[in-house]
Structure 1
Amino acid sequence: MIAEIRRANRDTRAQYALMMLFGGLCILAAFAPLGETIRIATVGTLFGFTAGLWVSHLLQVLRRAVDERATATQVRA
């Protein structure tokens, strides 16, 4: 898996790093000795960032695949 990440482009590596960062902070915040309301808000916000990055990454990968397929189709025609 490390080799695949190293082969990925810079955008993908940045997205993975941010997902790991916000996911880790989300887990830390879940066990932090904070008030319940603050902890819930913090975990929800950090999870939202993590999920948003994940969806953004999936859309980027899908768009790249569609563009590559369209290019391959034009070359064959």
Structure 2
Amino acid sequence: MLEEIRRVNRETRVQYALMFIFGALCIGVAFAPLEETIRITTVGTLFGFTAGLWVSHLVQVLRRAAELKNADVTGVTGQ
């Protein structure tokens, strides 16, 4: 599994690391002895960052796949 992670590009590794960090912080804050409103707000914010990174990563993967497909089609048709 570590070898697969090392093969992905730098952007993807950074996105995965940030998702892990914000996700871990989200879980940590959820169990922290803070006032309830502060805890809820902080967990929601951290979860929002995590979800935003995940959506951004999915868009990046789809864009890259579309570019590869367009490159294959262009190469096959000779345009």
Unaligned residue ranges in structure 2 (runs of 5+): none
Note the C-alpha offset of 1:5. Answer: 1.1
Amino acid at match of 2:75: V
Unaligned residue ranges in structure 1 (runs of 5+): none
Instruction: Give me the identity figure in percent.
Output: 68
1:1-77 superposed matches below 5 A = 1-77=1-77
Q: CA RMSD in A?
A: 0.5
Task: State the number of aligned residues.
Answer: 77
3-state SS, counterpart of residue 61 of structure 1: helix
TM-score by length of 2: 0.95
Between the aligned partners of 1:2 and 1:44, the Cα distance in structure 2 is 30
Between the aligned partners of 2:3 and 2:23, the Cα distance in structure 1 is 22
